Structure 1
């Protein structure tokens, strides 16, 4: 299960490595702001909707070379990049969405479907412990506002975790790579697939895990009633604990500023956040999320990971031409965090669905 060149791969970093060599940050200067605002004004004259925001309809000739470098760093470098310098308070909410889509199109021009209702963009104010957004190549976040305290986002390298698993926790590594993990898929009654959480090839380590969808959901377990979804084995529970421990050990805090656009290689890095407190007045922690794919630099998706990936990007990555795409400008008046999942394309259960309803008395 050894990976070729793993130790020297640029994604095999620790927090100390990144502190010594600054991660990719694209600093937006006054000239860039002028270019963006002129492109925005021109786009608004076209009478097009947000799904039509592309490199062609929103050209950024001065900024595009630096964004191309950032995309390479996401795919072949450290696995993430930050675009910094725009103040979202200067723009209307609709314009913030358009600008985010325009910049994101240079990192990955294909956008993934985030739920059954056609949402291409979601507003996130919460998330769960170490996970991936199963189904997405690139996780893109626009920081609209921050919490008063806490709420930091962390990333951890699957390469670095893999090295320590191989050296010190071989049983846990074998369990994580074994295609025997029951993962719940949308449906009522609940369905599941069997897949590995780590996929190891000659030159890549890919993670695909959402703890809220693994095994028998605790809500079902508490009822004591039957379910077709099996529980995790003791070895699988132990492997998850080891994985979480190592992710925390090697985590790197993203020094997020208001207005930052963050692009994370969702196949290579795990992410999480710490607890936070919002201010008593004014906006609290508010991130806007896109799922992206860049066909030029994209990694080949192994068969074991294709169920959630195709739910986001369509069969063979061809999208969903018949689905009406939605780009909500504002978050819901009352944020309702996902009941069962951190946010995974094939595994989103709508509010009307309940994994326990078939087994209730």
Structure 2
């Protein structure tokens, strides 16, 4: 009688002897110590805010489509230089930053269109915006639409459920907070480098399992010629760098496909330990995003999470964040296996979700 072989059985074994037992550097941080510092907060100055306001007004008056906004059409004489420094810290340093203070009467007057133009304009100085779903949205809306992640076509950011620690399918994810929830909805970050170090110290045998390809559900967003799932290791070592890609719920939901084998006991134990470490308050940190905050997170060195939340009954007060998936031209090299999810490996032109018929646009309607 034939049986399906597990992905662990069919994948090559990782050779941990080729990877440092302890990876050091600014990306290997611990939450409590990081939370005590505010060096990761960048306060937007009044002069920089006025630059953004002028660029928004000019672009808006031209009547252009925000989906086609490029940095040349959104000049930021002084802020652009600071954005480059911040991006360098995100890509090569601690892996995240918070820009605080994108607020003002002009944003209130301009409403969602002005906020979208400002966010896309700032993002254009960081990298190219990538499609976040099968509909080609380069501007995402993180808002509860009354949906459930139990539906395999639904993504968790469309619900008010806890997201759990995960990565997005891009180099850098950016969030602009417009409105906060009545309660909850905190942002949490954990270093995947620190997770590796702790796991390697405690259970090197289970750590090895994370370097073997594993199936992850595409959630019904399937590029042309691809399977409804992709196979990439949770952790990869390439060009002297550790890179992660992870979404536990989607690893488990990939088992719904008849050609995907069940997880082995060893894989489950490894993933359980990885999750337990990510959820350990001694490793992760949380922060509350305020209106006007822009959070930048490097997916290759961090996992991010959002706690469940209780929203306001008034529709005009409901929690609402805008999201960008960005491909910076100076991003790190990625191993060839990432092509299966990122579509390409070229920095500045990779990541995102593109399926047949996808047309890139920046919707102002969350639905």
Q: Same fold (TM over 0.5)?
A: yes
Contact 1:71 1:106 in 2 (8 A): no
Does 1:154 pair with 2:188?
yes
Deviation at 1:4, TM superposition (A): 5.1
For structure 1, the residue ranges without an aligned partner over 5 or more in a row are 221-225, 333-361
Specify the alignment match of 1:234 in structure 2: 265
Q: Does 1:117 align with 2:152?
A: no
1:275 alignment partner, one of 303, 308, 332: 308
**2:195–2:277 CA contact under 8 A, matched in 1:** yes
Q: Secondary structure at the match of 1:92?
A: helix
Tell me whether 1:172 sits opposite 2:206 in the alignment. yes
Aligned pairs for 1:109-148 (under 5 A) are 110-125=128-143, 126-127=156-157, 128-133=163-168, 135-148=169-182
CA RMSD for the aligned pairs? Answer: 2.8
Shift of 1:248: 1.4
Q: Secondary structure of the residue that 2:297 maps to in structure 1? A: strand
Change (3 A) 1:102 1:216: closer
1:217 Cα deviation after fit: 4.5
Q: CA deviation at 1:236?
A: 1.2
Partner of 1:210: 247
Equivalent residue for 2:275?
A: 244
The answer for the alignment partner of 1:76 in structure 2 is: 92
Matched residue SS, 1:22: coil
For the 8 Å contact 2:102–2:292, the answer to whether it is kept is yes
2 CA distance for matches of 1:314 and 1:300?
7
Partner of 1:294: 328
Say if 2:102 and 2:293, in contact at 8 Å, map to a contact too. yes
TM-score, normalisation: structure 1: 0.81
Distance in 2 of aligned mates of 1:11 and 1:167:
17
Residue in structure 2 matched with residue 46 of structure 1 by the alignment:
62
1:331 aligns with 2:347: no
Distance 2:250 2:351 in 1: 26
Secondary structure at the aligned position of 2:296 is classed as strand
TM-aligned CA deviation for residue 194 of structure 1: 3.0
Aligned to 2:269, the other structure's residue is in SS state: helix
Q: For residues 152-175 of structure 1, give each alpha carbon's deviation from its aligned partner in whole angstroms, at most 9, with x where no partner exists.
A: 010100111111111002122111
Rate the CA distance shift 1:311–1:239 in 2: closer, same or farther, 3 A: same
Deviation at 1:3, TM superposition (A): 4.1
Q: Helix, strand or coil: the match of 1:298?
A: coil
Distance 1:90 1:82, change over 3 A: farther
Structure 2 residue aligned with 1:99: 118
User: Structure 2: which 5+ runs fail to align?
Assistant: 1-15, 144-155, 158-162
Q: Secondary structure at the match of 2:120?
A: helix
Q: Look up the SS of the partner of 1:271 in the other structure.
A: strand
Aligned counterparts of 1:168 and 1:327: Cα–Cα separation in 2: 45
Task: Describe the shift of the 1:327–1:248 C-alpha distance in structure 2 as closer, same or farther (beyond 3 A).
Answer: same
Counterpart-to-counterpart distance in 2, 1:316 and 1:293: 6
Tell me the CA shift for residue 287 of structure 1: 1.4
TM-score (norm 2): 0.80
Out of 46-55 and 7-16, give the one that drifted further. Answer: 46-55
Distance in 2 between residues matched to 1:95 and 1:266, nearest whole Å? 27
